[in-house]
Structure 1
Amino acid sequence: MQKKNFNKKNLIISGSILIFFMSLMIYALKQDPNFTPSQLVGEKAPIISAPISQGGSFNSENSFNKGRWVVLNFWSSYCVVCRSEAPEIENFYQTISLNSATNPELVSINIQDDKEAISQWQSNYGQTFPVVQDTKGLISIQYGVTGTPETFFIDKNSIVRYRIAGAVNKNIILKFIDWLEKNPNSSQDDATKALMNMRNNS
């Protein structure tokens, strides 16, 4: 009788522990990764010096702190979400970045693909912008990139203001930059909530 009660007690404890850990897993999966802000937020954007897949090289000192926002978009060819984002990034580049020298500048950074893979990707998705090659993943390490796509918003003073984990589109980029400009002292939680509202209403 005692053995039976002991087994029943063990079963209840084991079941409770299992339910607890399953609840933790479900909770974690529901969390927006943007609620875990980049440690670079509020800091000067790290300098980038790297080759461009189409030829030449990129140095961020020619882009950062030049009186315009910089939208730093990290992507890779093995990223499924990047496929749906690709046309939006081209749309932003063509209609915004190229339209005025004071509009936000797009800097596209590919992680660890070779030139052929980047060229094939751009051909498939009709992309025309230059792509900075992070061949060894060192730039993504500098920026603390944990997955692709990730997009960093760097203000006119070369300060990292926010990092979006996940896909973006032209409207979200423009609305979010506008919000960041109007709320220079906002907390990361406030910025994330504003972003979520924009996504829900887009």
Structure 2
Amino acid sequence: MTKKMFGLITVAILIAIMIAGLVKKNIDTEESFSSEQRGVDLLETTAEEGLTQGDMAPDFTLTTVDGKKVQLSELKGKKVIVNFWATWCPPCKAEMPHMQNYYDEFSQDENVEILAVNLTSGDKVESVQNFVKDYGLTFPIPMDEEGMVGQTYEAITIPTSYMIDSNGRIQNKVVGPMDENMIKEFVSNLD
């Protein structure tokens, strides 16, 4: 075997090892993302980890992007999705059309309200207004200008959504983007 042939075989083996490593990394990343999308099982969290299933959802009052006041506790009797997002977040952009479709098709029949809380401390109000217009959003968009509500709800990764039952209790937390089927499934499990 010549040196040239040996060199070519060595290079081919190294390339194969690199490709295998990249494929494995992509598979691990994909599995990690899909498990994030399923939500966090709040039955398995402890009090030290923050909000848990069955806790009363912390009340808040915020002003929406169109200037109306919204208070979470006033929605008692409805199922509520509290979603935390920002205009610069690609997964949030992907999720919004699904939330709007769900809101248009099912929210009244299911007695559901969506509060898409914009983490305005990282966004400009004009950006939020443009986003709402561009995406044709009709559900309330409360503005968390101080970031306090997002902090209370521990919305570190966005989007993050809390599923709150008609009694005002947290039933689930979803970290990552949701599609319509996920929303339907989570809402169907609320009282």
Would the TM-score normalized by the shorter structure come out above 0.5?
A: yes
The 1:89–1:30 alpha-carbon spacing in structure 2 relative to 1, beyond 3 Å, is closer
The 1:70–1:81 alpha-carbon spacing in structure 2 relative to 1, beyond 3 Å, is same
Which residue does the alignment assign to 1:151? 161
Distance (whole Å) between structure 2 residues aligned to residue 114 and residue 52 of structure 1: 14
Distance (whole Å) between structure 2 residues aligned to residue 76 and residue 126 of structure 1: 16
Which residue does the alignment assign to 1:55? 67
Q: Summarize the alignment of residues 147-186 of structure 1 with structure 2, pairs less than 5 Å apart.
A: 147-179=157-189
Distance (whole Å) between structure 2 residues aligned to residue 30 and residue 92 of structure 1: 26
TM-score, reference length from structure 1: 0.67
| 1:107 alignment partner, one of 98, 111, 115 | 115
Amino acid at match of 1:58: V
Q: Summarize the alignment of residues 39-118 of structure 1 with structure 2, pairs less than 5 Å apart.
A: 39-41=50-52, 42-63=54-75, 65-66=76-77, 68-97=78-107, 99-100=108-109, 103-112=111-120, 113-118=123-128
Maintained 8 Å contact 1:114/1:135: no
Maintained 8 Å contact 1:73/1:106: yes
Give 5+ residue unaligned stretches, structure 1.
1-25, 182-202
Aligned residues: 152
- Aligned partner of residue 132 in structure 2, secondary structure: helix
TM-score, reference length from structure 2: 0.71
- Aligned partner of residue 144 in structure 1, secondary structure: coil
Which residue does the alignment assign to 1:193? none
Distance (whole Å) between structure 2 residues aligned to residue 56 and residue 35 of structure 1: 31
Q: How much has 1:91 moved relative to structure 2?
A: 0.9
1:73-120, Cα deviation, whole Å (9 max, x unpaired) = 1110111111111111111221222x34x5211111000223211111
Give me the CA root mean square deviation: 2.4
Maintained 8 Å contact 2:40/2:173: no
Which residue does the alignment assign to 1:141? 151
Distance (whole Å) between structure 1 residues aligned to residue 184 and residue 91 of structure 2: 20
Q: How much has 1:180 moved relative to structure 2?
A: 5.1
The 1:175–1:30 alpha-carbon spacing in structure 2 relative to 1, beyond 3 Å, is closer
